[in-house]
Amino acid sequence: MILKSLLRRKTRTLLTVIGVAIGVAAIVALGVMAAGFAEGYGAMGGGSGADLLVMQADSIDIAFSAVDEDVGQTLAGFSGVEDVTGMIYTFAAAEDIPYFIVFGYDPEGFAIAHFKIKEGEGLSERAARQAGHPLILGRAVADDLEKGVGDAFKLYETTFRVAGIYETGKPFEDGAAVVLLEDAQTISKHPHQVNAFLLRLRAGQDVEPVRRRIEQRFEDLTATVSSELADNQMALDWVNGFAWAVSFLAVVIGGVGVMNTVLMSIFERTREFGTLRAIGWKPVQVLGLVLGESVVLCGLGGVVGSGLGVAVVALVRQAPMASMIFPTTFPPMIFVQSIGTAVALGLVGGVYPAWRASRLMPAEAMRADGGGGHAVRLPFGGTALRNLLRQPTRTLLTLVGIGIAIMAMVSMGGLTEGFVKEMTAMASKEGMHLAGMEADASMDLSAIDEGIVRRIADVPGVEDAEGFLTGYTAVGDLPFFVVFGYPIHGLAIRDFKIVDGDPLATNRQALLGRVAAEALDLEVGQTLRLFDSSFRIAGIYETGAPFEDGGAVLSLHDAQNLFGQPHKVSFLAIRLEDPHRVEEVARAIEGRFPEVQISQASEFSEDVADMQYMKSSTWGIAFLALLVGGAGMMNTMVMSVFERTREIGVLRALGWPRRHVLSMILCESLALSLLGGVLGLVTGVGAIWLMNKATIVTTWVQGSFSVALFIQALVVAFALGALGGAYPSWRASLLRPVEALRYE
Query: Which pLDDT band holds residue 377 (cuts at 50, 70, 90)?
Result: very low
* pLDDT at res. 102: 93
CA distance linking residue 232 with residue 36, whole number of Å: 16
Average the pLDDT over 420-431 and give the result: 75
Average the pLDDT over 294-299 and give the result: 85
Q: Which of 56-65, 377-386, 650-659 has the lowest mean pLDDT?
A: 377-386
Model confidence at 367: pLDDT above 80: no
* pLDDT at res. 372: 47
Model confidence at 379: pLDDT above 60: no
Model confidence at 154: pLDDT above 80: yes
Centre a 10 Å sphere on the Cβ of residue 591 and count the other Cβ atoms it contains. 9
Model confidence at 308: pLDDT above 80: yes
Query: In this structure, are residues 105 and 112 in contact, taking their beta carbons and an 8 Å threshold?
Result: yes
* pLDDT at res. 8: 62
Q: Is 169 left (phi over 0), alpha (psi -120 to 50) or beta?
A: left
* pLDDT at res. 697: 65
Query: In this structure, are residues 624 and 443 in contact, taking their beta carbons and an 8 Å threshold?
Result: no
Centre a 10 Å sphere on the Cβ of residue 706 and count the other Cβ atoms it contains. 12
Average the pLDDT over 415-431 and give the result: 76
Model confidence at 329: pLDDT above 90: no
Query: Which pLDDT band holds residue 381 (cuts at 50, 70, 90)?
Result: very low
Model confidence at 375: pLDDT above 80: no
* pLDDT at res. 376: 39
Model confidence at 172: pLDDT above 70: yes
* pLDDT at res. 698: 62
Average the pLDDT over 494-508 and give the result: 93
Using alpha carbons, list the distances in angstroms from residue 248 to 294, 339, 407.
19, 14, 14
Average the pLDDT over 402-425 and give the result: 80
Model confidence at 731: pLDDT above 70: yes
Query: In this structure, are residues 88 and 185 in contact, taking their beta carbons and an 8 Å threshold?
Result: yes
Average the pLDDT over 447-453 and give the result: 92
- Of residues 646 and 85, more confidence is placed in 85
- 14-25 pLDDT, tens per residue? 777 887 888 888
* pLDDT at res. 400: 81
Query: In this structure, are residues 633 and 402 in contact, taking their beta carbons and an 8 Å threshold?
Result: yes
Query: Which pLDDT band holds residue 456 (cuts at 50, 70, 90)?
Result: very high
* pLDDT at res. 163: 92
Please list, residue by residue across 479-511, b when 16 or more beta carbons sit within 10 angstroms of its beta carbon and e when fewer do.
bbbbbbbbbbebbbbebbebeebebbeeeebbb
Average the pLDDT over 438-459 and give the result: 88
Residue type for position 496: F
Centre a 10 Å sphere on the Cβ of residue 612 and count the other Cβ atoms it contains. 13
Centre a 10 Å sphere on the Cβ of residue 552 and count the other Cβ atoms it contains. 26
CA distance linking residue 74 with residue 351, whole number of Å: 63
Q: Which of 112-116, 136-140, 348-352, 437-441 has the lowest mean pLDDT?
A: 348-352
- 113-149 pLDDT, tens per residue? 889 999 999 887 676 666 678 999 999 889 888 899 9
* pLDDT at res. 213: 92
Pairing status of strand 221-225 against strand 568-569: unpaired
* pLDDT at res. 103: 94
Model confidence at 347: pLDDT above 80: yes
Average the pLDDT over 63-81 and give the result: 91
Helices (H), 279-381: 283-317, 332-358, 362-367
Q: Which of 59-68, 170-179, 371-380, 613-622 has the lowest mean pLDDT?
A: 371-380
Model confidence at 363: pLDDT above 90: no
- In this structure, the chain runs to a length of 744
CA distance linking residue 573 with residue 468, whole number of Å: 8
Query: In this structure, are residues 350 and 258 in contact, taking their beta carbons and an 8 Å threshold?
Result: yes
Tell me the angle at which helices 283-317 and 10-45 cross, rounded to the nearest 10 degrees: 50
Average the pLDDT over 546-573 and give the result: 91
Model confidence at 171: pLDDT above 60: yes
CA distance linking residue 373 with residue 386, whole number of Å: 11
CA distance linking residue 565 with residue 193, whole number of Å: 9
Model confidence at 266: pLDDT above 80: no
- Of residues 459 and 608, more confidence is placed in 459
pTM of the model: 0.73
* pLDDT at res. 35: 79
CB neighbour list of residue 677: distance below 8 Å, 6 or more residues apart: 402, 403, 406, 713, 714, 716, 717, 718, 720
C-alpha torsion sign, points 565, 567, 568, 571: positive
Of the candidates 179, 65, 76, 199, which has an alpha carbon nearest to the alpha carbon of residue 133? Answer: 179
* pLDDT at res. 378: 37
φ and ψ at residue 124, rounded to 5 degrees: -160, 165
CA distance linking residue 244 with residue 179, whole number of Å: 35
- 221-253 pLDDT, tens per residue? 999 887 777 666 666 677 777 777 777 777 777
Q: How many percent of the chain have pLDDT more than 90?
A: 26
Q: How many percent of the chain have pLDDT more than 70?
A: 88
Query: In this structure, are residues 712 and 435 in contact, taking their beta carbons and an 8 Å threshold?
Result: no
Average the pLDDT over 169-198 and give the result: 89
CA distance linking residue 407 with residue 713, whole number of Å: 9
- 630-652 pLDDT, tens per residue? 777 777 777 777 767 777 778 77
Give the residues across from 167 on adjacent strands: 116
Query: In this structure, are residues 665 and 652 in contact, taking their beta carbons and an 8 Å threshold?
Result: no
Query: Which pLDDT band holds residue 465 (cuts at 50, 70, 90)?
Result: very high
* pLDDT at res. 385: 63
CB neighbour list of residue 489: distance below 8 Å, 6 or more residues apart: none
CA distance linking residue 299 with residue 274, whole number of Å: 27
pLDDT, the chain, mean: 82
Average the pLDDT over 193-208 and give the result: 91
- Quote the Cα angle for 63-69-71, to 5°: 105
φ and ψ at residue 511, rounded to 5 degrees: -105, 135
Residue type for position 502: D
Domain assignments of the chain as residue spans, ordered by start: 1-51+232-370, 58-219, 381-392+399-418+610-744, 440-594
* pLDDT at res. 663: 85
CB neighbour list of residue 237: distance below 8 Å, 6 or more residues apart: none
CA distance linking residue 405 with residue 409, whole number of Å: 7
User: What proportions of the chain, in percent to the nearest 5, are helix, strand and coil?
Assistant: 60, 20, 25
CA distance linking residue 209 with residue 199, whole number of Å: 14
